[in-house]
Every structure is written in C-alpha cells, then in structure tokens.
Structure 1
Amino acid sequence: MSRVTFDRSESRARRHAGALALGAALMLAPALGLADTPGVTAAAVKIGNIDAYSGPAAVYSVLGRLPGAYFKMLNENGGIGGRTIDYISYDDAYSPPKTVEQARKLVESDEVAAIFGPLGAPTNSAIAKYMNAKKVPQIFIASGATKFGDPKSFPWSMGLQPSYQSEGRAFAAHLLSVKPDAKIGILYQNDDFGRDVLKGFESGLGDKASLIVAKIPYETTDATIDSQVLRIKAAGADVFMNMTTPKFAAQAIRKIAELGWQPMHFLGSNASSIEAVMKPAGLENAKGIISSAYLKDPNDPTWKDDPAFKAWNAFLDKHYPEADRKDSLTVYAFVSAQVMEQVLKQAGSDLSRETIMKQAANLRDFAPGLLLPGIKINTSPTDYFPIEQLQLVRFNGERYEPFGPVLDAALPR
C-alpha cells in the first residue's frame, strides 16, 4: 500500500524536540474540547488526501504533492492558529475500489479531520456516500463532477473548479454561435466524469442535439482510443468534442493529425495542460484547440511581472523546486492549497469536522492571485460550486489566448 506523507517525519522530530511542551499541550486538550475531535490536537490537525501517484492518471500527482509542500511551508512559519498541519496522502492509482480502501484508512485509522483535494469523478463518487455517512468533509475535490455541488444529497462533499456540465454548456453555446450547422462527434470517458461533461454539452445544445452524428465512449483501461477517433471521423463529423483525461486527450490529438483531419476541436480544461497533453501530442497538432480556463496560464507572457506569479515562483524555488512551472496543474494545486488554508483560518481554534465543512461553505469573494481577473470563489450552505466563472481560450501552438468575455457558468438551480 502506497503512502505519501509530507510532514510526518518533521512532526515526529518536533514532538521529540519539544516533548515537554507537547505533553503540556496534550494535558490542555480536554480543556480545549479536543478530546472528541477526530484529527485535532492542541498542536496539530490531520488533513488527508487521495491522489493517483500511479496508473492512468498519474499525470495529476502534482495535485497531491504540491499541497504537501505548501502545508510544510505553513508549518515552518508556525502553522495555522498555532497548529501544524499533518498531511497524509495515499495513492489510489485512479481505481475506485482502491479509493474506497484509502478513504477508510484515512477516516478510521488515521482519523483525519477532513479529506482535501482528492482526485477524480469516478474515484470520489465511490466514496461520497461513505464520507457523508461518516460526516467527514470531502472538500475541494479535484473534479468538476456536478454531483459534488449538491448540498442536499452530499452535504459533506464539495468540488472546487467549475462543473463539467457548466463547461459543456459553455462549449455548446459557443459552437452554436459560430457553427450552427455543425456535425458533432463526441469522444467521452465512460464514467461519471465523461457522462457529466456530455450531459452539460447536450443540455447546452437543447433542440440542436440532432447535430451530434457520433457519440463514442472509451474505458480508462483501454490502451488507445484510435478506433474511436476513426469511427467519429467516418461518421462525417466536422466538430470533435474531446471529453477525456490527459493520456487519451494527447492520443486523440495525435491521431487526428495523422489522419489529416481538421475538425473544430474542443477540449475540456481538465486535459488542457500544455506540458502533459499538448507537448506529447505535438504543439503544432494542437493548434486551434478551444478549451476553457479560470486560472492564469503560466505560459502566458502577460503574467510575467504579475505579483501572484512572482510569489508562486518564489514558493516553488524554496519549497517545491522539482515542479513543472509550465504545467497548469501546478497552478491549480497551489490555488487549491490556498483555499484549504483559508478554510482553516476561518475555522479558527475550532477545527472540528463540522466547523471545517461550515467554513468551506462560507467563502466570500476569496480571490487567490492566480485566478483570472474577475473570477472569485464564493460558497454558501446552498451553493457548493466555489468557482462558477470561466473564460474560453484557444491554443495558438505555444500558449492559450483568451477570447470573449468571462462567462457566468452557474448551472440553473
């Protein structure tokens, strides 16, 4: 069983070095009302994470690793409210059964106060009922699955990025405005992620859903998606909707280029990384692809002197030098850690699971510097979609260029 921990050795050293102080803190714990607060002592709070450090989605491993470096930085500066963060991250290889195993370990053995930033729609779907039954926060899930914005059904689960359905609707609206006679071919991952984007896109098409000429799924266990791309081309599609994860997105881009096919190409933001997708696929092959964004692009010279990017680079220099600074996932991971920090700050001295969840649902105009201008994070007890704005972007062969206005991507409620 793989276990990735970022602070535990440091925490042990601190405990040995400061045994007397810690003993005093532990004696104070009952007085502070911490005896029955899982994952919280007077000295530390345990935060869990599940990511794909192996398997078909291992490209996302930075989403688990970078927050560990971020929390270590916070600990070196005194922690939050005098408590350090004991961050425990496990590998599930993007396999739902493994996710269940790791979530149970974090909740029942490690007794974390919350699980933060776990990766994936199918993997988090597998543990959502369990997390909600246990009343443990499953927050800032690294997935745009719409179900993670449903406080009535899953009051202990919350995503972070714009929902996949919102992105699908935005793509559909743009497509209808520029190519109303399109012949649309769709490649989608046959799980909660792919079906969610598909639902939003079809909803956005409305009575124009008849424009879809092919709708082909693939499995994450497939070696390639070449046959699916061939079937979509054979159906006569002149628009290609690429609803995939990075490995398969890169394969599709390469295959389309090999065929000499030039459809209008849409790609979900989850697979829009230049380093993880466009470069492996061939930058020239990816030219013209339309995606969406809500984060500043580290490849865009517009942000060269941006104070937020300077702070991000300084953090990476000191705390995570192995980071790929051209990868948008590195930006996302940094922002997600900042959001978790904000929740812990708002919770103050009470880091119970109930208070952490309450504060996750009480973010007001929080605007980490690496969000695009005009985009802010807001939540409430009835609004579990932290980011509900996005910007359409087009890849020019080197970087993404924004076009059109920042869109309100809130779903109808």
Structure 2
Amino acid sequence: MPGRRRKLAALAMLAAGALAATPALAEKKYDPGASDTEIKIGNIMPYSGPASSYGVIGRTEAAFFRMINDQGGINGRKINFISYDDAYSPPKAIEQARKLVESDEVLLIFQALGTPSNSAIMKYMNAKKVPQLFVASGGTKFGDPKNFPWTMGFQPNYQSEGRIYAKYILDNFPDGKIAVFWQNDDAGKDQFKGLKDGLGDKAGMIVADKSYEVSDPSIDSQIVALHDSGADIFFSWAAPKGSAQAIRKVGELGWKPKFFLANTATSIASVLKPAGLEYAKDIISTAYLKDPTDPTWDKDPAVIAWRAFMDKYYPDGDKTNANNLYGYVQAEAMAQVLRQCGDNLTRDNVMKQAASLKNFHTDLMLPGIMVNTSLDDYFPIEQMQLMRFNGQAWELFGDVITGEVGHEHSQ
C-alpha cells in the first residue's frame, strides 16, 4: 500500500509539473462579468407597456438559469441573470443597457426584446464591444456582422419568414389578391419586404396595405379599409395585441380571407384566445419550435421535460403560452455558447463561439431545424414549417421550408 501511495504522489507531482509546463491550457481568461464562480448575463424585457405579454419570456429565462445553477452551473460557474424592464420604450432600453454594462458590469446582454429596443442599443453595444446576443426580434438588421459584429439574432428573421409565405402563396394561390396589415417599425417593414422579395415579379398581387402604431388603441379603420380592397388573402404582421385586434375585427366583419399571421403572434394564450378562437380557425403561420398546445407532442420527451421544468421552476407560468417554450430554447442556445467558451470567458470569445454553431439543435425545435452560424452568417435559423390553427391547436403541414436571405439584404 505505501508503495502505491508513493507512486500516486509521484504521478500527482508529474501531473502538476505538466500543467505548469503548459500554462496556456490552464489559463483562464475573463472580461468583466465573468470569474471563477459566476457569469453575469444582462437582459431587457417589456415587463410593462404595450408589449408586456412578452415579459413571460424573461421570466422563463430566469427560471432556466435557476435550474442550470441547481445543476452546478456552466463549467462550474453560476449564472447571475439580471433582467430589467424597458416598457418597450427605446430611450428606456438605452438607459437599461448602460446600467447593465457600466454599473452591473455584465459579460453580455442576452435576448433584449423587440426590434425598436434592440435598434436603440445596437450602436452603443458595438461601440462598447459587448455582445448583444440572440436578440429577441427577427429584424434582419441584427444579422449584419460586417457593420455590427457584436450583435446577433437567433429566431428566423422576418424577411426569411416573408419569403416562406410567398413561396407557399405562389404555389397554392397564384391568382390571389393580398392585403397586408403591418406594424409601422423595422419589424413590420422587414416582414413586408420579405413577402415582396419572395413574390418577385408577382408582387403586384399585393393590392392594399395599411400600417399601425403599437400604441394605437384601435386598428378597426385599417382592417375595414383592407377588407374593402377586395383582397382574398390577408397578412397580419403585428405585435400580440394588434394581432388579436386584427383577428377579432376580420371575424366580426364576416370576412373570410386566407389569413396569414406573423410567427411572433401565434400564442394561443395571449393572442388567439383574446381574439376569439372561433375567429382564429384556419389561420396559417410558421413554426420552428414544438408547440406545447399541439397534441402531436403530448408524449414527446422534450416537451414532457419542459413541462416538468415549468412545474418546478416557473409554476405560475402558462404552459399553453408558446412564449414560455421560446424563452427556454433561447436560454438553451445561450448555455451552449457559454459551454463552448470553456474557461475563455472574454466578450470576444463569446461572439466567436456564437458564430461557430454547427448544426446545433435542441429537442424542443422541430425535427430538421438546425442552427448554423459563421463569421459572415449571423442568421442562426432560416428554416420554418407552415402550420394551421384548427380551432383548438396548431397543426403542422408540408415540409420544412428554407427562406434564406442573401447577405446583400442584411444592411
């Protein structure tokens, strides 16, 4: 036994010597927000204001990181998730971003929500060289590594989504007349551009369009005007509240167009129920994640695990609200990037790892949906599948469709 102990001691000394001889392996690199024990992540959400129904996303993400910490953290480090309210107001978003970067000294800002808020903080984040990661918006501008190397989206960008609908319409309703209701900001303009680009020389199919402001109390006059255009295909590109109002008004008018709804407004809990499920029947949208209300996934191990997570870490969260599943998947992707960083937790390496995701897939994504990024491709997901609302749940149909946006569009 003593001989064996001596041998072990000698081996231990050899091992220690080897580590000392290769300091690069053992060297830990930290920027503000990272240490041996924790990683500070900043987040900005509309917990109040006109888009407050999205606030649950931040709550789910906070719950996810609590779960990760209970499991021992990431590479042995606990996640300190600091989330502030900006009420969907760009000036407030700038104030919160400054607070996170300069006072809280976070390593990065993850999943700030909304096109207006992210547009407002983008120049600041890039000037400070702090990652603005997995932006909670499909704005195409958030995939522009040449001009904004510190900013990256995650969900399919709005132009890709518009192109996917265009492909479907050209294949199935080539003689249709399209009316478009859109949010007057970068998100709405982006979606509209994707649809037009996707229709190409058939863009003349769009016979009418009306915009609205997120703060508008009513959108009835816009919907009436679109109804009067004689269109038989209707697009609603609006935040949850505006989308719910549009679905209800179209229903009340007795108008029965082919109805397409933006992917960001497909929550049964926060959009379709308030609008009236009877009016939402047969609406078409897109998905890239499993829908917790779709009976198809009732026995799916990933969805079962997500429900157990909700019960334990976010018990007052609504399991029929797809935003709670969305937040979970975004946080899974963030955890993957941090795992890849190892002990090199510099802001530079965080962006490098985010830009080297190869066929990354979590089990809450639809089969066939893959996350791919590179130094010149900051659009992680560019595939979606169409789905139709049957009055109770969303049902997927067709194949996974790719709606890649050429990099020339990403200015």
TM-score (norm 1): 0.90
Give the Cα–Cα distance (whole angstroms) in 1 for the partners of residues 235 and 308 of structure 2: 37
| Post-superposition offset of 1:412 | 2.3
Residue identity in the other structure for 2:291: D
Alignment-mate amino acid for residue 150 of structure 2: W
- 1:106 lines up with 2:100 in the alignment: yes
1:242-293 deviation line (CA, Å, top 9, x unaligned):
0111000000000011111111111010001111111111111001111000
2:182 corresponds to which residue? 188
- Structure 1 unpaired stretches of 5+: 1-30
Contact conserved, 1:159 with 1:384, CA < 8 A, in 2? yes
How far apart, in 1, do the equivalents of 2:170 and 2:99 lie? 47
Among candidates 321, 337, 346, match of residue 315 of structure 2? 321
| 2:199 equivalent in structure 1 | 205
- Residue equivalent to 1:12: none
> Match for residue 165 of structure 1?
159
Match of 1:263 among 257, 260, 273: 257
Aligned: 1:62 with 2:56: yes
Task: Determine which of 342, 345, 349 is the counterpart of 2:343.
Answer: 349
1:77 and 1:399 map into 2 onto residues whose CA distance is 34
Aligned 1:118-133 pairs, distance under 5 A: 118-133=112-127
Give the whole-Å Cα distance in 1 for the aligned partners of 2:177 and 2:97. 43
Q: Distance in 2 between matches of 1:139 and 1:145?
A: 13
CA offsets 1:12-65 (integer angstroms, 9 cap, x no match): xxxxxxxxxxxxxxxxxxx9666x721112211110000000011111011111
Q: Which one-letter code corresponds to 2:309 in the other structure?
A: F
Residue from 390, 405, 409 that aligns with 2:399: 405
Q: 2:128 aligns with which of 131, 134, 145?
A: 134
Cα distance in 2 for residues equivalent to 1:341 and 1:376: 16
Taking the TM superposition and a 5 Å limit, the aligned residue runs for 1:239-250 are 239-250=233-244
Q: Is residue 216 of structure 2 the alignment partner of residue 222 of structure 1?
A: yes
Partner of 1:152: 146
SS in 2 for 1:338: helix
8 Å CA contact retained: 1:239, 1:265: yes
Q: Contact 1:63–1:117 at 8 Å: present in 2 too?
A: no
Contact 2:281 2:390 survives alignment (8 Å): yes
- What is the CA–CA distance in structure 2 between the aligned matches of 1:170 and 1:41, rounded to whole Å? 43
Aligned to 1:76: 70
SS at match of 1:41: coil
Equivalent in the alignment of 2:5: none
In structure 2, what residue type is equivalent to 1:160? Answer: F
State the Cα deviation string for residues 304-357 of structure 1 (Å, max 9, x = none): 111101111111121111111111111111101100111111001111111111
Q: 1:361 pairs with 321, 331, 355, which one?
A: 355
Preserved contact between residue 293 and residue 391 of structure 1 (Cα < 8 Å): yes
> Which residue of the partner structure matches residue 364 of structure 2?
370
Amino acid at match of 2:346: S
The correspondence of residues 256-295 of structure 1 with structure 2, limited to 5 A, is: 256-295=250-289
SS in 1 for 2:364: coil
Cα distance between partner residues in 1 of 2:281 and 2:68 = 40
Structure 1 CA distance, aligned partners of 2:258 and 2:388?
11
Q: Secondary structure at the match of 2:133?
A: strand
- 1:260 is matched by which residue type in structure 2? G
1:75-128 per-position Cα deviation (integer Å, ceiling 9, x unaligned): 122211121111100001111111111111111111110000110111101111
Match of 2:83 in 1: 89
Larger-gyration structure (1/2)? 2
Which segments of 5 or more consecutive residues in structure 2 lack a partner in the other structure? 1-25
Given that 2:164 and 2:402 are in contact with CA atoms closer than 8 Å, whether structure 1 keeps it comes out as no
Aligned partner (choices 325, 332, 354) of residue 326 of structure 2: 332
Cα distance in 1 between the residues matched to 2:133 and 2:84: 16
Aligned residues: 382
- The match for 1:390 is 384
CA distance 1:33–1:344, shift in 2 (3 Å): closer
SS at match of 1:403: strand
Amino acid at match of 2:330: S
Match of 2:305 among 306, 311, 320: 311
**Take 2:235 and 2:307, find their aligned partners in 1: how far apart are those partners?**
34
Question: Is this contact kept in 2: 1:273–1:327, CA < 8 A?
Answer: yes
Measure, in 1, the Cα distance between the counterparts of 2:95 and 2:128.
Answer: 15
| Separation in structure 2 between the aligned mates of residue 364 and residue 42 of structure 1, nearest angstrom | 27
Tell me, in whole angstroms, the C-alpha distance in 2 between the residues paired with 1:147 and 1:75: 33
Residue 409 (structure 1) shift: 2.1
Q: CA deviation at 1:229?
A: 0.3
Task: Name 2:3's counterpart in structure 1.
Answer: none
Percentage of pairs with the same residue:
58
CA RMSD of aligned residues (A): 1.2
